[in-house]
């Protein structure tokens, strides 16, 4: 084993508005860097989707996406060349993140060219719900390149046992390392005050915040949330639904029409993407978090809410059975009546009881989802992949 392990991460984007993988890949690379690993990220920069996530200690090889890459699934000869150059520069492992995009092809080609092990993190893209979306296009892509990419992997990385099962169901037989995403635990001091968000959205003053924070996308179950909220808001005196997140596919206008049509405007606010102090303000001052998702390989937003001491409601389509087991939230079917029941139950609790749930959630995250521990686990997996020896406890072999 070399003195300094060098891992090249390849991901389509780490722009802030593109969703959870941008933050989780950046977080993993930064955690590895703190463990003494030479961690690099090769990616495209979609400037229209916000700044790139900060990656302290990590070299980012960033290529402007441009018009061709934006239209052709990340196709970029410049990025392909940059990945090959980086792979040749002392890299020991190539780790590709996500599927159905050209950068995954470039990661596989670079690994094969230099005889390096290829690790693939599907990032939820082999879940049955995800495979059912644009299934014809994905079927064509699978035949053209994705099956070859998947066959070339020496190891898969899953962020939950649920995702590991999805990888097996797709037919892959290689070892799978089940290592969750991490989350930064905020300090007890210095959390952003309510006024940071209230000054921009005055209707939030004096209200209890029910927070949804994720992409505005059909996958995230906002239709289920609105149907549940239609029934709950009338009896939830003093509560206000805050929907925070970027709109990447033009779903927001339809969502706004639904809110108006069902008379939810007085009790609902769409904030758009929140970053920095505004995001901190939302998480630090919400009293309940909700993500009624239809498919989630991990659910980084849930972990972030728990880290801030906010109890969470999510569905069984997310791998968060711990919410019920650890009594820090609700884990219900991805159906509007089930979401409605959970919201009614949560809102009916005394504030002290919700805060106690929040403390249990924060303790869960602190003990299991800290980035430093996760960085150490992944470093051990990479070293085992290179050197062999004792199989890490997180690795599931076929």
> Which pTM was predicted?
0.90
Task: Judge whether 215 and 245 are in contact, CB under 8 Å.
Answer: yes
CATH code for the structural domain at 195-368:
3.40.50.2000
Beta-carbon neighbour count of residue 134 at 10 Å? 12
Stretch (H or E) spanning 379: helix 371-387
pLDDT of 257 reads: 95
Beta-carbon neighbour count of residue 213 at 10 Å? 23
With CA atoms as reference, report the closest residue to 152 among 111, 97, 99, 98.
111
pLDDT of 300 reads: 93
The full 3-state SS of 41-65, as one line of letters, equals EEEEECHHHCCECCCCCCEEEEEEC
- Range name among 75-89, 228-242, 246-260 with the lowest pLDDT average: 246-260
**Number of alpha helices (DSSP H) and beta strands (DSSP E) in the chain:** 17, 14
pLDDT of 192 reads: 79
pLDDT of 1 reads: 58
Query: In sequence order, which residues have a C-beta less than 8 Å from that of residue 168 and are 6 or more positions away?
Result: 176, 398
- Alpha-carbon gap, residue 341 to 361, rounded angstroms: 20
- One of 3.40.50.1390, 3.40.50.2000, 2.40.50.100, 2.60.40.10 is the CATH number of 6-182+370-396, namely 3.40.50.2000
Kindly tell me if the per-residue pLDDT of 79 is higher than 90.
yes
For range 358-387, the mean pLDDT: 95
Same fold, 6-182+370-396 and 195-368: yes
Kindly tell me if the per-residue pLDDT of 266 is higher than 90.
yes
- Could you identify the residue written with the tokens 């890949």? 25
> How many angstroms separate the Cα of 133 from the Cα of each of 65, 75, 217, 300, 373?
24, 21, 12, 22, 34
- Percent of the chain with pLDDT strictly greater than 70: 98
Tens digit of pLDDT for each residue in 158-169?
999 999 999 999
Kindly tell me if the per-residue pLDDT of 2 is higher than 70.
no
- Alpha-carbon gap, residue 395 to 110, rounded angstroms: 24
- Orientation angle between helical segments 371-387 and 20-34, nearest 10 degrees: 70
SS3 158: strand
pLDDT of 187 reads: 74
- Alpha-carbon gap, residue 257 to 151, rounded angstroms: 45
- Orientation angle between helical segments 222-232 and 252-261, nearest 10 degrees: 20
- Alpha-carbon gap, residue 340 to 125, rounded angstroms: 28
Tens digit of pLDDT for each residue in 31-57?
999 999 999 999 999 999 999 999 999
For range 322-334, the mean pLDDT: 98
Query: In sequence order, which residues have a C-beta less than 8 Å from that of residue 277 and are 6 or more positions away?
Result: 192, 196
pLDDT of 188 reads: 58
Kindly tell me if the per-residue pLDDT of 189 is higher than 70.
no
Stretch (H or E) spanning 149: helix 147-152
Question: 300: which 2 tokens?
Answer: 């980084």
With CA atoms as reference, report the closest residue to 212 among 315, 302, 328, 307.
302
Annotate 75-105 with b (16+ C-beta within 10 A) or e (fewer).
Answer: bbeebbebbbebbeeebbbbbbbbbbbbbbb
Q: Are strands 288-291 and 208-213 parallel, antiparallel or unpaired?
A: parallel
Domain ranges of the chain: 6-182+370-396, 195-368
Predicted confidence band of residue 147 (pLDDT cuts 50, 70, 90) = very high
- Alpha-carbon gap, residue 157 to 122, rounded angstroms: 7
CA atoms within 13 A on the CB side of 262: 20
Predicted confidence band of residue 332 (pLDDT cuts 50, 70, 90) = very high
Predicted confidence band of residue 305 (pLDDT cuts 50, 70, 90) = very high
């Amino acid at each position: 084993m070399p003195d300094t392990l060098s891992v090249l991460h390849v991901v389509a984007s780490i722009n802030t508005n593109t969703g959870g993988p941008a933050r989780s890949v950046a977080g993993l690379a930064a955690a590895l860097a703190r463990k003494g690993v030479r961690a690099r990220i090769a990616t495209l920069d979609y400037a229209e989707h916000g700044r790139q996530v900060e990656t302290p200690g990590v070299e980012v090889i960033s290529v402007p996406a441009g018009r061709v890459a934006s239209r052709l699934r990340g196709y970029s000869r410049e990025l392909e060349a940059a990945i090959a150059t980086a792979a040749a520069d002392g890299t020991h492992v190539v780790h590709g993140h996500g599927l159905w995009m050209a950068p995954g092809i470039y990661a596989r080609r670079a690994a094969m060219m230099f005889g390096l092990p290829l690790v693939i993190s599907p990032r939820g893209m082999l879940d049955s719900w995800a495979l059912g979306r644009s299934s014809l296009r994905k079927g064509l892509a699978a035949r053209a390149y994705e099956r070859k990419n998947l066959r070339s992997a020496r190891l898969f990385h899953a962020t939950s046992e649920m995702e590991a099962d999805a990888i097996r169901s797709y037919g892959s037989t290689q070892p799978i390392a089940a290592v969750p995403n991490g989350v930064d635990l905020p300090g007890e001091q210095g959390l952003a005050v309510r006024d940071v968000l209230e000054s921009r959205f005055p209707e939030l003053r004096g209200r209890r915040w029910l927070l949804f924070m994720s992409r505005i996308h059909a996958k995230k179950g906002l239709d289920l949330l609105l149907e549940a909220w239609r029934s709950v808001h009338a009896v939830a005196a003093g509560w206000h639904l805050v929907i925070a997140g970027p709109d990447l596919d033009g779903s927001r206008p339809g969502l706004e029409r639904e809110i108006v049509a069902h008379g939810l405007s007085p009790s609902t606010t769409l904030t758009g993407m929140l970053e920095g102090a505004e995001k901190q303000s939302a998480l630090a001052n919400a009293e309940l978090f909700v993500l009624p998702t239809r498919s989630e390989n991990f659910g980084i937003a849930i972990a972030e809410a728990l880290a801030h001491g906010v109890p969470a409601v999510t569905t069984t389509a997310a791998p968060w059975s711990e919410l019920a087991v650890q009594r820090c939230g609700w884990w219900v079917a991805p159906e509007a009546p089930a979401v409605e029941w959970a919201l009614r139950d949560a809102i009916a609790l005394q504030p002290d009881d919700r805060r106690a749930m929040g403390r249990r959630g924060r303790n869960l995250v602190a003990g299991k989802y800290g980035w430093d521990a996760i960085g150490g686990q992944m470093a051990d997996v990479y070293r085992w992949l290179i050197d062999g020896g004792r199989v890490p406890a997180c690795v599931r072999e076929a």
